[in-house]
Amino acid sequence: MIHINAKIWGEVQGIGLRYMAKVKAGKFDIKGFIRNDPDNTVYMEIEGKKEAVEGFLNWLQRDFKQAKITRFESEKGIVENFKNFIAK
């Protein structure tokens, strides 16, 4: 189990990213949350098996074409054992 904190810049709000992330999180068995921040970025914390987290992040960065990501930063964090995935 790994935990990732990520911040996403670009055209990432108002395009259904949080909703689709929730749908994909269920398919990848990812737990955590995603939210829009006031600076027009998106922040998320996700947890799951390494392969699932990598698959989820690949989907987000490569396959979710509605987003125009200009910058993506992530770092490992401490596993918090989230029980579900919430789109805030």
CA distance 9 to 42: 7
Per-residue pLDDT of the chain (88 residues; tens, 9 = 90+): 999 999 999 999 989 999 999 999 999 999 999 999 999 999 999 999 999 999 999 999 998 888 999 999 999 999 999 999 999 9
pTM of this structure: 0.93
Q: Say whether 44 sits in a helix, a strand or coil.
A: strand
Could you tell me the domains of the chain?
2-87 (3.30.70.100)
